[in-house]
Structure 1
């Protein structure tokens, strides 16, 4: 059976988006710089740079060229709700995205793990699309909540002139947000393609039956 080139291209694009989403989510959580100190244009050259992540808070000393991190004694101790929820959603997002890859490989049009069982391939592909979409949406919720909380705190500290370090969104946050967007796009693309493939046999059947219905009146004995 010949596989349409468009179907293979769709599978490859969805796999690329899902794999890139998982990679960016892992890198965003591992780099652990979701908030970085805001740059003050009126100040002199900073002597240090600070980063706050989901797991630790780090300081880079520009003079000593030294990077030190403060890791909490226990991750189960009391923390802000936005931090705890973001941790859970990011882990869940990465887990769902990773779980979608095996069934997606089994359901790809260009793989022959299941030979020519088209219906089972469609089921595996649809399941992978749902997992990609759920994983991406989990990351989107985490990114939105954490981003809104960071922006609100930044505006409040600037407006009130609160002394101390003011934080803005860091590069780890943007990597995780991009990863969530990629996973969501890959899942939506895969689900849409599977729905079109499921409707294709019905359209073909209607086309095959249309000549029979277009004939003239028939007599029955």
Structure 2
């Protein structure tokens, strides 16, 4: 029962993490224009992996897609690739983990095989979380670097909600994947440990030795 609860908890966390990773990837608010050096805050500018947007106090928002991929900075292209890989790993992780659940019956699959399938699903989610965490942290590091760069004449940006959503999804994916991997160890620990003995009956030949019969002449000689 404890194994099933651990598997369900881990799978639910991984599914929520995957949804958060999708929201973070599609978010256009990875970084927001800083108003630290400005007096008025009538306009806002924010960027994501796919669009550059601007908003005004009147409520109008205008977003423009990046016109070229090759013209983007290298870290933005790398973060795009890492987030897409994270989503693909999470999708495969959901499918594999569902097949390895103890409460799901697929043919005549044994519990040992299902436990291995669950571990594979957990590893996929661990890789998904690590990939997403790398992308979000890399992007955040570049924001900090550009913010404190004295020679940077461009607009300064700060962290946006998309980064926090990505961090939350990555952490949940790692924790959920760890739960799925630990459920296999817990399942193997609950199995009864014993030793099987094979008894084989071996026939042993017993040889009975009898003394030779004594003749009558020898008996009479013994009495003389």
Q: Structure 2 length normalisation: TM-score?
A: 0.80
Query: 1:168 — aligned with what?
Result: 158
1:109 aligns with 2:102: yes
Please say if residues 97 and 131 of structure 1, whose CA atoms lie closer than 8 Å, have aligned partners that are also in contact.
yes
Q: 1:50-103: CA deviations, max 9, x gaps?
A: 11111111001113x21101212233x232111111000011001101111111
> Which blocks of at least 5 consecutive residues in structure 1 are unaligned?
213-220
* RMSD, matched Cα: 2.2
SS in 1 for 2:63: strand
Query: 2:12 — aligned with what?
Result: 16
Q: How does 1:30-41 map to 2 (within 5 A)?
A: 30-40=26-36
Query: 1:74 — aligned with what?
Result: 68
For residue 209 of structure 1, report the CA deviation from its aligned partner. Answer: 4.2
Given the alignment, which residue of 183, 187, 190 partners 2:177?
A: 187
Query: 1:218 — aligned with what?
Result: none
Q: 1:108-130: CA deviations, max 9, x gaps?
A: 11222345621221121111011
Distance in 1, Cα, partners of 2:66 & 2:95? 35
Distance in 2, Cα, partners of 1:138 & 1:24? 14
Q: Who wins on radius of gyration, i.e. which is larger? A: 2
Q: Select the structure that is richer in helix.
A: 1
SS in 2 for 1:78: coil
> Which blocks of at least 5 consecutive residues in structure 2 are unaligned?
198-203, 205-224
Aligned residue pairs, count: 198
Q: Structure 1 length normalisation: TM-score?
A: 0.82
For residue 164 of structure 1, report the CA deviation from its aligned partner. Answer: 5.0
For residue 15 of structure 1, report the CA deviation from its aligned partner. Answer: 1.0
For residue 194 of structure 1, report the CA deviation from its aligned partner. Answer: 1.2
Query: 2:134 — aligned with what?
Result: 141
Distance in 2, Cα, partners of 1:104 & 1:115? 17
